[in-house]
Amino acid sequence: MDVTMELLIIKSGATYIRVKEDAYLSGGIDKASVYPLKQLSEVQRHAAKLRQQGFKDISIRKLKLTEEPFDD
Is 28 part of any domain?
yes
DSSP secondary structure letters along 5-18: EEEEEEEETTEEEE
Domain carrying residue 63: 3-67
Is 8 part of any domain?
yes
Structural domains in the chain (count)? 1
pLDDT band at 16 (very low <50, low <70, confident <90, very high): very high
Is 36 part of any domain?
yes
CA-CA distance, 71 to 69, in Å (whole number)? 6
Is 9 part of any domain?
yes
**52-67 burial code (b ≥16 CB/10 A, e <16):** eeebeebeeeeeeeee
Q: pTM for the whole thing?
A: 0.88
Residue range 18-25: average pLDDT?
A: 92
Is 72 part of any domain?
no
- Residue 1 scores a pLDDT above 90: no
Is 53 part of any domain?
yes
